[in-house]
């Protein structure tokens, strides 16, 4: 079954991703205002009544800004964890709240949505895959590291939204204060162009037809840098930059594409053995999650978004 995907916006000014078939769809995050979400979906000829639910990755404003109004106006169930809801400034009505757990698929019509844990500077962050019986789409943004969870799910996707947030040199030499720079690149912030590129180059499945590069920093990245880097290893995959200012086109993902897999790809999505010179990248474990929660609890300031 063909799935249709679009980025309504992607960046620290708002994130919202559409995945659906001919009958039903879901939104991953609702970081645009309700009015702007409606406007962009009209321009794409996507009826909002096709959207059956909103899934929330975490509580930062650029992912939930339109959540309260949009869910109320269209009576949309909102799938959100209890910890995220506690920190949510634009909370949906209680009657619309639904819970989810990592690894437990949720069925909405012919769509199956599965969450998995990730490392990010938030209370309880998750990424998602959305699947039909024959096609799987990943929404992978706001990632501190390339963890084993990410590799496993990325390796099974026919198309993906993948964060490529910053160029390492632009961040290093840019205007941000050092504490903010270190938060962005410190393992609980965002993926650099290089980190995202290495994931794509090594673990891309042969059936990945589309890659939408997402959540580019306005200050610490350039679309032409990202496009040029990834097209070196595209091997036939369509590489698209998801804009932080406009909606993308709608892309039809049919599952029939066959290209060239990355050299480390396996059907199981297992990380390749690391050389002695390469430090291991930690998986998202309960121990890591407890350490992150403890660090958040010690903070005297509630974080609204990672950066402007």
Answer whether residue 288 shows pLDDT above 60: no
pLDDT at 304: 38
Q: What is the mean pLDDT of the chain?
A: 91
Q: What is the pLDDT of residues 137-177, one digit of tens each?
A: 999 999 999 999 999 999 999 999 999 999 999 999 999 99
Q: And the tokens for 304? A: 């609204």
Q: And the tokens for 280? A: 């291991």
Closest CA to 5 of 114, 109, 151, 158: 158
- pLDDT tier at 275 (50, 70, 90 boundaries)? low
Residues 6+ apart with CB under 8 A from 244: 9, 10, 11, 12, 13, 14, 216, 218
Q: What is the pLDDT of residues 32-57, one digit of tens each?
A: 999 999 999 999 999 999 999 999 99
Rounded to an integer, the average pLDDT of 285-301 is 39
Q: What is the spatial distance between Cα 208 and Cα 187, in angstroms, rounded to a whole number?
A: 26
Please report the domains of the chain, with CATH numbers, ordered by start residue.
3-298 (3.60.15.10)
Contact 57, 128 (CB under 8 A): yes
Sign of the Cα torsion 188, 263, 139, 6 reads positive
Closest CA to 44 of 20, 68, 60, 66: 20
pLDDT at 273: 85
Q: What is the spatial distance between Cα 226 and Cα 162, in angstroms, rounded to a whole number?
A: 12
Q: What is the pLDDT of residues 192-225, one digit of tens each?
A: 999 999 999 999 999 999 999 999 999 999 999 9
In DSSP terms, which residues pair with 45 in a beta bridge?
Answer: none
């Amino acid at each position: 079954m063909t799935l249709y995907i679009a980025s309504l916006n992607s960046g620290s000014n708002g994130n919202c991703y559409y995945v659906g078939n001919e009958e039903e769809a879901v939104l991953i995050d609702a970081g645009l205002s309700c009015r702007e979400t409606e406007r962009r979906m009209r321009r794409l000829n996507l009826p909002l009544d096709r959207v059956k639910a909103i899934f929330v990755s975490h509580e930062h404003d650029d992912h939930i800004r339109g959540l309260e109004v949009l869910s109320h106006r269209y009576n949309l169930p909102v799938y959100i964890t209890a910890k995220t809801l506690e920190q949510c400034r634009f909370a949906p009505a209680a009657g619309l709240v639904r819970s989810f757990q990592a690894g437990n698929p949720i069925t909405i019509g012919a769509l199956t949505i599965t969450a998995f844990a990730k490392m990010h500077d938030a209370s309880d962050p998750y990424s998602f895959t959305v699947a039909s019986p024959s096609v799987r789409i990943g929404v992978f943004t706001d990632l501190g590291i390339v963890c084993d969870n990410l590799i496993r799910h990325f390796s099974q996707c026919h198309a993906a939204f993948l964060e490529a947030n910053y160029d390492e040199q632009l961040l290093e030499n840019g205007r941000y204060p050092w504490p903010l720079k270190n938060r962005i690149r410190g393992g609980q912030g965002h993926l650099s162009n290089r980190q995202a590129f290495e994931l794509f180059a090594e673990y891309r499945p042969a059936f990945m037809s589309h890659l939408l590069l997402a959540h580019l920093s306005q200050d610490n990245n350039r679309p032409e840098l990202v496009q040029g880097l990834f097209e070196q290893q595209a091997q036939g995959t369509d590489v698209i930059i998801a804009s932080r200012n406009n909606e993308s086109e709608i892309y039809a993902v049919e599952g029939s594409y066959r290209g060239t897999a990355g050299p480390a790809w396996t059907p199981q999505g297992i990380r390749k053995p690391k050389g002695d010179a390469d430090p291991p990248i930690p998986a998202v474990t309960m121990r890591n999650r407890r350490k992150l929660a403890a660090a958040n609890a010690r903070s005297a300031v509630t974080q609204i978004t990672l950066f402007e």
